[in-house]
């Protein structure tokens, strides 16, 4: 019976060119297209692995990133090299208890990398969320309500004309103490950095969303929704937002990359988290002075930043291709 059906089906397909692929949802389509993009898949798995590594890692690797060995231990445990150095340098000071070595104060590098990654990725994700929320909000408002389109877009232009990195640096220094006092050192600086990155990176999203909303709101389905008495808020939430989700997702992925880089740059320039609080940028900055003797301390945090950003960029690239119906299926 089923055999008969399929035969019948293919016959019709041959005659009338009816697509034989089973109908599937939009997101299944996107996923299939994304799976075909090798770079995006490698990026996706790399990013997921890194996130899992820094989230679960500390539960498996019990070293305390802030533990300072005292007395004799301090001398025996400080400045340990990674174990792989023993491969070419038999006299190197290595210790199986610290696979990636320790820093000049005897703190375990692997643990510090994990905790640093937690902060860096947390900053990246939160800042991206904030910037996407802001961008979508401004974009939808500007696109949907004609009256505030002009002022909002001028505001966007103005933000684009601001020299962002200098201003972030200035603001990071100015608001550091007030926020640290009210939210605690780490919490305050986390809020500060996330807010700064968020409010300086929403402009591209706003522009893209506005353009899409402008085109979408003239379509018949919006008119139909309005004619049955849907309120503007419902039109935006039910009918417009799901349709602008694709460009938002792409800029969200790319936003993670920019946020991580900006946070590391701030930490690197000494305007980010305090010295004893590991983030990848901070670790890199702290090790630059000793990079002649201990290049691995620069290498690992830098490599982690680059790998995460690279994987996220590849993922965003693949996602853009997968979400664009014009190039899909090529």
Partner 1 sequence: MLTFTLRRLVLAVPTLLFISLVIFLLLEFAPGDPMAQVPLTVPPEVKEKMREALGLGQPVHIRFWKWIVQFFWIEPQVMIDSFLGTTFSADDLRVISWQTRSPVMDIVVQRMPQTLWVVGTAYLVGILIAMPIGIYSAYKQYSWFDNAGTFVTMVGFSVPPFFSGVLVIVIFSVQLGWFPSIYDTTHKVTDWNSFVVQLKQMIMPVMVLALQITSQISRFMRASMLDNLNQDYVRTARAKGLRERSVILVHVLRNSMIPVVTIIALGIPAIFGGAIITEQVFKVNGIGQLLITAIQANDLPMVQTLTFIFAVLIVLFNLIADILYGILDPRIRYD
Residues that bind partner 1 (CB under 8 A): 39, 157-158, 160-167, 169-171, 173-175, 177-178, 257, 261, 264-265, 268-271, 281, 284-285, 288, 291-292, 295, 298-299, 302-303, 305-306, 309-310, 313-314, 317
Residue 197: which of 120, 300, 113 has the closest Cα? 120
What lies within 8 Å, CB to CB, of 243 at 6+ separation is: 212, 216
Q: Which is nearer to partner 1, 131 or 285 (CB)?
A: 285
> CB of 302: closest distance to partner 1 in angstroms?
3
Residue 267: which of 292, 285, 251 has the closest Cα? 285
Q: Which is nearer to partner 1, 162 or 237 (CB)?
A: 162
Residue 257: which of 302, 323, 305, 303 has the closest Cα? 305
d(CA 5, CA 65): 64
Q: Which is nearer to partner 1, 197 or 298 (CB)?
A: 298
Q: Which is nearer to partner 1, 106 or 188 (CB)?
A: 188
> CB of 33: closest distance to partner 1 in angstroms?
16
Q: Which is nearer to partner 1, 170 or 223 (CB)?
A: 170
Residue with tokens 């993922």: 315
> CB of 289: closest distance to partner 1 in angstroms?
11
d(CA 47, CA 312): 7
Upper half-sphere CA count for residue 107 (Cβ side, 13 Å)? 19
Phi and psi, residue 275, nearest 5°: -55, -35
Measure CA of the first residue to CA of the last residue in the chain; give whole Å: 34
> CB of 268: closest distance to partner 1 in angstroms?
4
Q: Which is nearer to partner 1, 211 or 302 (CB)?
A: 302
> CB of 170: closest distance to partner 1 in angstroms?
6
Q: Which is nearer to partner 1, 88 or 96 (CB)?
A: 88
Contact 215, 88 (CB under 8 A): no
> CB of 40: closest distance to partner 1 in angstroms?
11
Question: What are the angstrom distances between the C-alpha of 144 and each of 193, 240, 266?
Answer: 31, 9, 36
> CB of 197: closest distance to partner 1 in angstroms?
14
Contact 169, 271 (CB under 8 A): yes
């Amino acid at each position: 019976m089923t055999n008969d059906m399929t035969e019948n089906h293919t016959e019709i397909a041959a005659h009338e060119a009816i697509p034989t692929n089973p109908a599937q949802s939009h997101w299944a389509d996107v996923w299939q297209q994304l799976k075909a993009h090798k770079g995006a898949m490698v990026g996706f798995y790399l990013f997921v692995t890194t996130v899992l590594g820094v989230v679960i890692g500390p539960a498996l690797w019990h070293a305390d990133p802030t533990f300072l060995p005292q007395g004799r231990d301090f001398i025996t445990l400080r400045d340990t090299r990674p174990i792989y150095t023993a491969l070419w340098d038999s006299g190197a000071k290595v210790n199986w208890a610290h696979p990636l070595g320790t820093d000049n104060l005897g703190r375990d590098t692997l643990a510090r990398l994990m905790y640093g990654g937690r902060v860096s990725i947390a900053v990246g994700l939160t800042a991206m969320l904030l910037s996407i929320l802001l961008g979508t909000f401004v974009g939808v408002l500007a696109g949907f309500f004609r009256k505030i389109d002009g002022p909002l877009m001028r505001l966007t232009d103005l933000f684009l004309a601001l020299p962002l990195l200098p201003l972030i640096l200035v603001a990071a220094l100015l608001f550091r103490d007030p926020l640290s006092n009210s939210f605690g050192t780490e919490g305050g600086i986390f809020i500060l950095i996330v807010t700064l990155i968020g409010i300086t990176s929403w402009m591209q999203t706003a522009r893209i969303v506005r353009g899409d909303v402008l085109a979408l709101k003239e379509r018949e389905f919006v008119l139909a929704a309005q004619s049955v008495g849907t309120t503007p808020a419902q039109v935006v939430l039910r009918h417009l937002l799901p349709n602008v989700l694709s460009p938002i997702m792409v800029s969200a992925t790319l936003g993670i990359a920019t946020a991580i880089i900006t946070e590391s740059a701030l930490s690197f320039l000494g305007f980010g988290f305090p010295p004893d609080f590991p983030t990848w940028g901070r670790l890199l900055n702290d090790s630059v002075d000793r990079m002649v003797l201990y290049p691995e301390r620069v290498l690992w945090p830098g490599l982690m930043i680059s790998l995460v950003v690279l994987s996220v960029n590849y993922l965003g690239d693949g996602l853009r291709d997968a979400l664009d119906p014009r190039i899909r299926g090529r």
